[in-house]
Structure 1
Amino acid sequence: MVTKVEEAQLNQLENQVDNGGGGAWEYLCLVRKLRVRRSEKVLKHGLSILNDHKKRSSLGPDEWTLYEQVAIAAIDCNSVDVAKDCVKVLQKKFPESKRVGKLEAMLLEGKGAWEEAEKAYTSLLEESPLDQVIHKRRVAMAKAQGNISGAIEWLNKYLEIFMADHDAWRELAELYVSLQMYKQAAFCYEELILSQPTVPLYHLAYADVLYTLGGLENLQTAKKYYASTIDLTGGKNTRALFGVCLCTSAIAQLTKGKSKEEKEGSQVQSLEAKALEKDYKQRAPDKLPQITIALKSLTLSP
């Protein structure tokens, strides 16, 4: 994950290069280091170096790294001819390279030659079954074709091998949600919370899924995770505050007549309603009347 300091550094360097201040190679190196995708900029500034013989020669062995970086950016930008030229140069220099083989498969994928790309990826995986990039390319290819079920299948296979990949678990959860497979999504968020318990985003997403599933037990658990999101964000997550209110109201409807639950629910309702109204008053006062009406509809207004 890119930090704010790193992002600021990248943006500053990008602005410098864009305005003719130099530092194109340093910018491209930083993009690689941070593993971010700035394909249009990489294509533009990478080609400016590759097309200048003197600059290209001064890179030494890094010349081939730049060809690879520009090839990937060109595929992203649908500049097929540029990608082809870069891949040809690399094929000539490294005729037996599996790394270049991945670029060839990506080029096929970029051209929409799905069957050929699939065969190429399958062949590469037979030789390198633990290659994370190839596994992820198969997921991306399925998504590009609108085959969400296929993407889920590939992601599950990937996670059988690379269980510690948090981004993959999150992507799988989001794919399940898109298909309204909420129980499966909940399992993914449970894995994420177990491995990264201090990330409020996972608590919030898990609570949302449980609230959507409904039922007393799910609502009670959702309320706890909305509350933990509030705690982890120092009380600044509006969505979590509203989530607690919604859960409390729904639980009250399901436990009518049980005085203890009603009393506890009323206390929580009052606290969260006040926090919500205070938050809207500070950040969006024009919307305060709307939120007040919404809270009253849930019998949450203090």
Structure 2
Amino acid sequence: MMSKTEEEEVNRLENQVDNGGGGAWEYLSLVRKLKLRRPNKVVKHGLSILNDPTKRSALGPDEWTLYEQVATAAMDCQCTDVAKDCIKILQKKFPGSKRVGRLEAILLEAKGSWAEADKAYASLLEENPLDQVILKRRVAMAKAQGNVSLAIERLNQYLEIFMADPDAWRELAEIYISLQMYKQAAFCYEELILAQPMIPLYHLAYADVLYTLGGLENILTAKRYYASTIDLTGGKNVRALMGICLCTSAVAQLSKGRNKEDKDGSELHSLASTALEKNYKKISPDNLPLLTSTLKSLKLQS
């Protein structure tokens, strides 16, 4: 995530370049450094440098970095002819380069030549089985073709090697949720929480999955993770507050006629309800009556 200072600098340079004030290379370098997605602007301003021999030669070795940046951006915005031209120049300069070979495979993918792209990726992986970019591209390609089972298989293979990649765990969890495979999604969120315990989004998503799975034990655990989300966000997460109310209400229903499973349920429900009403009065007063009605239906019986 960009800092406020970085965002201001990107916007300043972008406005300057768009209005003919120069600084195209500085802008492109910053976009690359911050890993921003600005494909149309990268192609436009990148070509303005590459097509000018004087500007291009002034870059020195960075000329080849810019060719690669423009090629990648061109594929992102379906300017495949531009990408092809840039890759040809890189091939001539770096014959046999695996990095250029990866660009060639991505270009095949961008054109929808799935079988050829997969063959090219497989060939590159034979030489370097631990190439993260290629392993991720193969997952993306499976998803683009609608082959969800293959995407799951490839993501699991990837995570056997790169177990500390939070983005991959989160992507796998979201795929499982889309298929209503909630137990598998829960496992993914457990891994994320173990790796990055201070990120409230993971606590909240895990709680949602457990609540969806249902059953007294899962709902009690969901309540704890909704509570941890509230704690990590300073009480400002409305979804977690509502989750507390839903969980305490469900626990009260599920434990009727049995030993009381959730002794602090009534107090917690009341605190969450009060906080929700306070939030709605401030940010969405028109919806307060609907909230009040919903909370009333969830009110615990004494």
- TM-score, normalising length: structure 1: 0.96
Deviates most, 262-271 or 97-106? 262-271
Q: 1:200 to 1:173 in 2, by over 3 A?
A: same
For residues 177 and 236 of structure 2, what CA distance do their matches in structure 1 show? Answer: 25
Q: Quote the offset at 1:23 in angstroms.
A: 1.6
How many percent identity over aligned positions? 76
2:70 corresponds in structure 1 to 70
1:171 is aligned to 171
Q: CA deviation at 1:137?
A: 0.6
Instruction: Report matched runs for 1:141-220 at 5 Å.
Output: 141-220=141-220
CA contact (8 A) 1:185 1:209 kept: yes
Residue type matched to 1:54 in 2?
Answer: T
Give the AA of the match of 2:255.
T
Q: After superposition, what is the alpha-carbon deviation per residue over 1:186-213, rounded to whole angstroms, capped at 9, x for unaligned? A: 1111011001000000000100110111
> Relative to structure 2, which stretch is displaced further, 118-127 or 42-51?
42-51
Q: Which letter maps to 2:9?
A: Q
| 1:1-302 alignment, distance < 5 Å | 1-258=1-258, 260-261=260-261, 264-299=264-299
2 CA distance for matches of 1:126 and 1:78? 29
Residue range with higher mean Cα deviation, 174-183 or 15-24: 15-24
Could you tell me how far 1:274 is from its partner in structure 2? 0.4
**What do the CA deviations read for 1:263-289 (whole angstroms, capped 9, x no partner)?**
632211111100000000011111111
Which stretch of the first structure deviates more once superposed, 81-90 or 10-19? 10-19
- Give the Å deviation of 1:94: 0.7
Q: Which amino acid aligns with 1:49?
A: I
Worse-matched range after superposition: 69-78 or 260-269: 260-269
The separation in 1 between residues aligned to 2:167 and 2:96, in whole angstroms, is 32
Q: Using a 3 Å threshold, how does the CA distance of structure 1 residues 201 and 8 change in structure 2: closer, same or farther?
A: farther
Q: 1:262 to 1:127 in 2, by over 3 A?
A: closer
Is residue 91–residue 100 contact of structure 2 (8 Å, CA) maintained in 1?
yes
How far apart are the structure 2 equivalents of 1:27 and 1:262?
A: 57
Q: Give unpaired runs (5+ residues) of structure 1.
A: none
Residues 1:91 and 1:263: Cα distance change in structure 2 (over 3 Å): closer
What is the alpha-carbon root mean square deviation over aligned residues?
1.6
1:214-255 Cα offsets, whole Å, 9 max, x none, are: 110100000000000000000000000001111111111101
Note the C-alpha offset of 1:37.
1.7
TM-score, normalised to structure 2, is 0.96
> How far apart in 1 are the matches of 2:176 and 2:6?
32
Q: Which amino acid aligns with 1:92?
A: K
Inter-partner Cα distance in structure 2 for 1:290 and 1:259:
33
Shift of 1:258: 4.5
Separation in 2 of the partners of 1:294 and 1:66? 56
State the SS of the aligned residue for 1:35: coil
Q: Does structure 2 retain, via aligned residues, the 8 Å contact 1:143–1:151?
A: yes
Q: Counterpart amino acid of 2:166?
A: H
Which one is further off, 22-31 or 203-212? 22-31
Q: List gaps (5 residues or longer) in structure 2.
A: none
Q: Please list every run of at least 4 consecutive aligned residues from structure 1 whose deviation after the TM superposition is greater than 6 angstroms.
A: none
Q: 1:80 to 1:115 in 2, by over 3 A?
A: same
Following superposition, the deviation at residue 3 of structure 1 comes to 3.5
After superposition, give the CA deviation of every residue in 1:108-164 in whole Å (9 maximum; x if it has no partner).
Answer: 000000000000000000011111100011011111111111111111111111111
In structure 1, what is the Cα distance between the partners aligned to 2:208 and 2:4? 27
